[in-house]
Structure 1
Amino acid sequence: MAPLTLIVASSSLVLYALWKLFAASKGRRIPRGLKPLPGPKGTATKLNSKQLSRYKTDIPKGYPIVGSVPDVPEKNSFITFADWGKIYGPIYQVNLAGSNHVWISTDEIARDLLAKKGAIYSDRPHIPALIDDNRTSAQYLPLLSKNEGWTRQRKFANVIMRESEKAVFHRYPEIEAKRMLVELLDKPDQYNHALESFIARVTCRLAWGHSEASDELKQRARELLIGVSPTGALGNKIPFVMDLPDWLSPTKAWERRRARTERKFFETMQRQVEQDSQEGKAAPSWMKLFLDSRSKWGFKYELEGAYAVGMHGIAGALTIAAPMQTFCLAMVHYPQFLPILHEELDRVCGDRLPVAEDRPNLPFLRAVIRECLRWRPPVPTGIPHELTQDDEYNGYFIPKGSVMHPLEWAIARDPNLFPDPEAFNPLRWVEPGYPTYQEPLTQYPTIINSTQFGYGRRTCQGQAVSDEDMFIGLGSIAWLFTMEKTKDGDDESETSDTFTSPEAEKMDIPSIALNEKASISQEELNTGVNKLSIPTKEQNILAQYEYPGTPPTATTKKNAVKKDKKSKIDPTLDYSVLLIAKPLPFKFTLKPRDLGRAEKVRKSFNEGRENGEYEDPKEYWGEQHGKGKEFGWSKV
């Protein structure tokens, strides 16, 4: 059996390679009068050694059949693609295993193509590792091609998102923020779990009206993320393995069980809301909105409504926790901004947690959130589009079938729009001297319509949910906690038993010229920040810190010589390798700023628990989450 298996696998690989070579050769035909986009095997070969020395990346060589795949690192590949953009220009192409991938490094070009020409740039590429074709199955709205299923599910999504926003998301983020804070008080070293659980619980409540499925939703999200990531499932790296029988392809068998379990989970959740509705106890949710007018949506198969709701649940659980984890990373490595955030929250909220109505009065909190998305975008390579017909741009030919990547990592680092782009600096959103400043500050800054949510007809419809979750979640964390790097000998798992906010007592904390309603005028900021030679309160605070992106002084240069070689590795770039890039867990000290606030939060949570407001997670597949059974958790 083993020799036969080897022969079948080898023959399949050879046939797949020949087919890719043939497909690639067809794609090289360029219409007269146009030229191919630059890229490996093109422009790079014309650069001399002096020119090449300007770049901090190896020049991709390109190989037969596999193209530039060997030149792409698995970890932080988005940095490599951004570096290649400095070599080849703001739009270039790369052959990856026979597929033509086009990388876009500026917002202007991304809008020119993906938004203005959305009629031909709004498809999604095929994801070979999924059992059901993502383009036509009507299971995953963000991954669907532009077809009837996409149209009807997008209309449905517009309605459920609009109704949720009108209802202030049923206060679910505010309810779950209390549970998250108690978990952070009790187990601060497990902050990643607490943040992800917060998002999963809010999303479960929005999707189905209760939170008990949060652990299951997180697992469904993890498994799907592996299935859709280029660096995840083997089927995305070597697609032919998905054409083999299950017994010969463990990755295909894994995906089949994942899809089967997901379908069963979505069906179970729909049935539960149906039962709740019959008993008159269904809480507001997207599923209830669907069930209350099931026939009006025109869904074509039995569980399309279950998938339409479930997919939005998974999408929320996948993405929103990443920038929340980035917030912790930023506050620890750029501590000069935490006292400013504390001052704003204390002034606006006092001794209560932030609520939705505080949004206009908390511009610096919104600036921090906006900067988290820019500094470390959760989808740094951008969600890819696929071109449905040949096109040209500025004299360059772009062939049909090209996978188009709005490279968010590069777009968010345009030095003309974001001076000192590698530094985390929320002030760029609230000070008039920066290109990104907008008024009024009761509305701006905002993450709504930022490039991270996509382009044109593929813009994410869950922006308002993401915005509310991060506003309430991160605002609550900053209201209660201070955080700092773990010092040698510190136990990062301990919480404080005393008031631990010396910043508020030792520093004259600035209000960045905010009045009581946070309406900053141009005149106030110009006078208070830009014109006077006397340092502002804010500048006094910032001057106490050195951080990545600070212009080197004599002292920092001297200290840099003493640093160990290992310190050259940027600790803020230790990220996961899947499509959604999350900062890997790290150690830091998380302590309550005020014991009175901590006890108030704990008391409120306990009262809610006694009233049945907080449900414990539920296991859906039995012992060990269905290990070895037809349905259950797969290894991730």
Structure 2
Amino acid sequence: MLTLTNVTWLNILLCLACVGVYFLMWVFNKKNPAPYPPGPPGWPLIGNILDMPHIRVKPWLTFATWGKKYGNISHIQVMGQHTVVLNSVKAAIDMLDKKSTLYSDRPIFPVGGQLVGWKHIMALLPDGDCLRRYRRNIHRVIGSRAAVGIYSQIGEVETRRFLKRVLTKPGQLQAHVRHTAGAIILRISYGYEVTKNDDPFVDLADRGLDLFSRSTAPGAFVADSMPFLIKAPEWFPGAGFKRLVHDWRKIVEEMVFTPYNFVKDQMAAGIAPESFTSNLLENRTLSVEDENVVKWSAASLYAGGADTTVSAIYSFFLAMTLFHDVQKKAQAEIDAVIGPDRLPSFADRGSLPYTEALAKEVLRWNVVAPTGIPHRVTEDDIHDGYFIPKGSLVIPNIWFMLNDPQTYASPLQFNPERFLSNDGKKPETDPRTICFGFGRRICPGIHLAEASVWISVVMSLAVFDISKVVENGVEITPEVDPSSGTISHPKPFKCSIKPRSVKAVELIEQDANY
């Protein structure tokens, strides 16, 4: 039986082991050719482990504080692992774009990647041939606006269905947003049509991607900084995560294998509709490795579109609840261009500049991936006079880049006009050049994501008035409080969603399968 004395001795042995590791590092450490970037001062042995923000406290805020104190490039070290945080777009472009041959690798996530099972997802793949195969597969399907245009009818049909569900049950907005995002990406990835609420594939995506967000965020697990804990028993100090990962891994495997096997079964029966997966499998004899690439390419497409879009569209409704004047301006533009007799479509996109700017502002105001996923440096580098050692993690603080008052005036305000040319004023930086990441690791689904957000925005504004809820005579103002994690979501909120007119109801109730 494990006693308190045993645990105490284990803690002492752990500390002694850490001291030994630190001593060896100190003995064999060579003199650096340049100083590390500035950052919070560390402690002997443990380095900056006390400075690392916890996943629950929005690490991007801590990183922003470091940026203000130490500059656009800051540095910490935890048990020999160097981490560099970038707080400016220029630094991110100079390092992650212009030096992409050095800065495009991914770190190993001992918990989220190895134990939970996300190591084969494209976002966590190391730089190399396998990553290029994934990206090639996905680029063929959604790598350009023209390619995404092939799927425009799917987006329009599913968004029409979304309007009908919101009209029927406006109090279940978040569930409707998740349902619609899942339906669109499942049709594209697997040819699977979502026909009911509480769809098992949509539920799988929700559960799996929640685990991805929680298990890959900076500071999620001590074992990510101290990998030796992976080998420790679950009762060992710092290894409590092992009680979770078995069940988490089963969810991830189910999310990846279930829709893939659905396509294979339909193809065997000769009834599979065209999809990303069926196209890759059709008339091909695949090796085990090839099949694994197809399976995880499809899962990467599925995962990338099922959660990030949810965050953006849900935040759109939050913004319209809080910034009613913006909503009215967009509706006036839609009424003038589209009129009351039809719903907007992708064909109208070029004629609605204010609505286009509003969709951009959604991406800036609600930062879906506040710190992205860390890059990893493959060789020693000296940048701006600072030494960036091989193996360093590089975290772009995307949240601060999109809320930097030097780039965006009054960043907390939701203001689409910042992206329009008014009275000769130059538009502010397009957030799409920042929010989807940098270099070779930029999100390959950028065109599908922005198209999905735009069609949801324009169709919703055409038929709904969105406002604050009034309870017992008191107007309820929602709180802007995004969640932590790799993917950040607005805190659940209440809002009033009502049809704008009798004609709007008629448009919503038209057959969504037109």
Structure 1 stretches lacking a partner, 5+ long:
42-60, 439-444, 494-566, 614-636
Once the two structures are superposed, the pairs formed by residues 510-525 of structure 1 within 5 Å of their partners are none
- Rounded Cα–Cα distance in structure 2 between residues aligned with 1:256 and 1:301: 27
Q: Aligned pair count?
A: 501
Give the alignment partner of residue 67 of structure 2, picking from 82, 85, 90. Answer: 85
1:229 aligns with 2:210: no
1:396 aligns with 2:377: no
Letter in structure 1 aligned against 2:482: Y
Relative to structure 1, is the Cα distance of residues 336 and 238 closer, same or farther in structure 2, using a 3 angstrom cutoff? Answer: farther
Q: Secondary structure at the match of 2:57?
A: coil
2:453 alignment partner in structure 1: 470
Report which stretch shifted further, 120-129 or 239-248: 239-248
2:289 alignment partner in structure 1: 300
Give the alignment partner of residue 571 of structure 1, picking from 479, 499, 502. Answer: 479
- Rounded Cα–Cα distance in structure 2 between residues aligned with 1:491 and 1:293: 63
2:173 alignment partner in structure 1: 191
Q: Is the 8 A contact 2:143 2:444 kept in 1?
A: no
Relative to structure 1, is the Cα distance of residues 423 and 156 closer, same or farther in structure 2, using a 3 angstrom cutoff? Answer: same
Shift of 1:459: 1.1
2:308 alignment partner in structure 1: 319
Question: % of aligned pairs identical?
Answer: 26
Relative to structure 1, is the Cα distance of residues 144 and 466 closer, same or farther in structure 2, using a 3 angstrom cutoff? Answer: same
Q: Is the 8 A contact 1:134 1:143 kept in 2?
A: no
1:425 aligns with 2:415: yes
Give the alignment partner of residue 88 of structure 2, picking from 88, 96, 106. Answer: 106
2:36 alignment partner in structure 1: 36
Once the two structures are superposed, the pairs formed by residues 230-629 of structure 1 within 5 Å of their partners are 230-232=218-220, 235-236=223-224, 239-245=227-233, 251-292=241-282, 294=284, 300=289, 302-350=291-339, 351-432=341-422, 433-436=424-427, 449-489=432-472, 571-572=479-480, 574-605=481-512, 608=513
**RMSD (CA atoms):** 3.2
Shift of 1:335: 1.7
Relative to structure 1, is the Cα distance of residues 264 and 216 closer, same or farther in structure 2, using a 3 angstrom cutoff? Answer: closer
Relative to structure 1, is the Cα distance of residues 187 and 63 closer, same or farther in structure 2, using a 3 angstrom cutoff? Answer: farther
1:519 alignment partner in structure 2: none
Shift of 1:287: 0.8
Give the alignment partner of residue 124 of structure 2, picking from 109, 122, 143. Answer: 143
Relative to structure 1, is the Cα distance of residues 320 and 490 closer, same or farther in structure 2, using a 3 angstrom cutoff? Answer: farther
Shift of 1:71: 6.2
Relative to structure 1, is the Cα distance of residues 131 and 401 closer, same or farther in structure 2, using a 3 angstrom cutoff? Answer: closer
Q: Is the 8 A contact 2:479 2:491 kept in 1?
A: no
Q: Which has the higher contact order (CA 8 A, sep 6+)?
A: 2
- Deviation string for 1:29-56 (max 9, x for gaps)? 5534x22211112xxxxxxxxxxxxxxx
Q: Secondary structure at the match of 1:124?
A: coil
In terms of Rg, which structure is larger? Answer: 1
Letter in structure 2 aligned against 1:242: I
Q: Is the 8 A contact 1:485 1:589 kept in 2?
A: yes
- Deviation string for 1:108-163 (max 9, x for gaps)? 1111111111111111112121363899x861111111122112222212122249
Relative to structure 1, is the Cα distance of residues 400 and 428 closer, same or farther in structure 2, using a 3 angstrom cutoff? Answer: same
Q: Is the 8 A contact 1:160 1:286 kept in 2?
A: yes
Give the alignment partner of residue 201 of structure 1, picking from 174, 183, 187. Answer: 183
Relative to structure 1, is the Cα distance of residues 102 and 166 closer, same or farther in structure 2, using a 3 angstrom cutoff? Answer: closer
- Rounded Cα–Cα distance in structure 2 between residues aligned with 1:127 and 1:142: 12
- Rounded Cα–Cα distance in structure 1 between residues aligned with 2:27 and 2:473: 62
Relative to structure 1, is the Cα distance of residues 263 and 362 closer, same or farther in structure 2, using a 3 angstrom cutoff? Answer: same
- Rounded Cα–Cα distance in structure 2 between residues aligned with 1:257 and 1:346: 50
Report which stretch shifted further, 376-385 or 115-124: 376-385
- Rounded Cα–Cα distance in structure 2 between residues aligned with 1:451 and 1:26: 41
Q: Is the 8 A contact 2:116 2:248 kept in 1?
A: no
Q: Secondary structure at the match of 2:498?
A: strand
Structure 2 stretches lacking a partner, 5+ long:
none
Q: Is the 8 A contact 1:173 1:472 kept in 2?
A: yes
Shift of 1:479: 1.5
Q: Secondary structure at the match of 2:111?
A: coil
Q: Is the 8 A contact 2:369 2:398 kept in 1?
A: yes
Shift of 1:352: 2.2
- Deviation string for 1:479-530 (max 9, x for gaps)? 121112223426999xxxxxxxxxxxxxxxxxxxxxxxxxxxxxxxxxxxxx
Q: Secondary structure at the match of 2:412?
A: coil
Q: Secondary structure at the match of 1:420?
A: coil
Shift of 1:75: 2.1
- Rounded Cα–Cα distance in structure 1 between residues aligned with 2:386 and 2:222: 33
Q: Secondary structure at the match of 1:382?
A: coil
Q: Is the 8 A contact 1:391 1:400 kept in 2?
A: yes
- Rounded Cα–Cα distance in structure 2 between residues aligned with 1:334 and 1:268: 41
- Rounded Cα–Cα distance in structure 1 between residues aligned with 2:52 and 2:250: 36
- Rounded Cα–Cα distance in structure 1 between residues aligned with 2:160 and 2:23: 58
Report which stretch shifted further, 256-265 or 362-371: 256-265
- Deviation string for 1:193-222 (max 9, x for gaps)? 211221111111111111352222222212
Shift of 1:475: 1.6
- Rounded Cα–Cα distance in structure 1 between residues aligned with 2:127 and 2:256: 24
- Rounded Cα–Cα distance in structure 1 between residues aligned with 2:448 and 2:20: 44
- Rounded Cα–Cα distance in structure 1 between residues aligned with 2:257 and 2:8: 41
- Rounded Cα–Cα distance in structure 1 between residues aligned with 2:308 and 2:511: 28
TM-score w.r.t. structure 2 length?
0.87
Q: Secondary structure at the match of 2:75?
A: strand
2:15 alignment partner in structure 1: 14
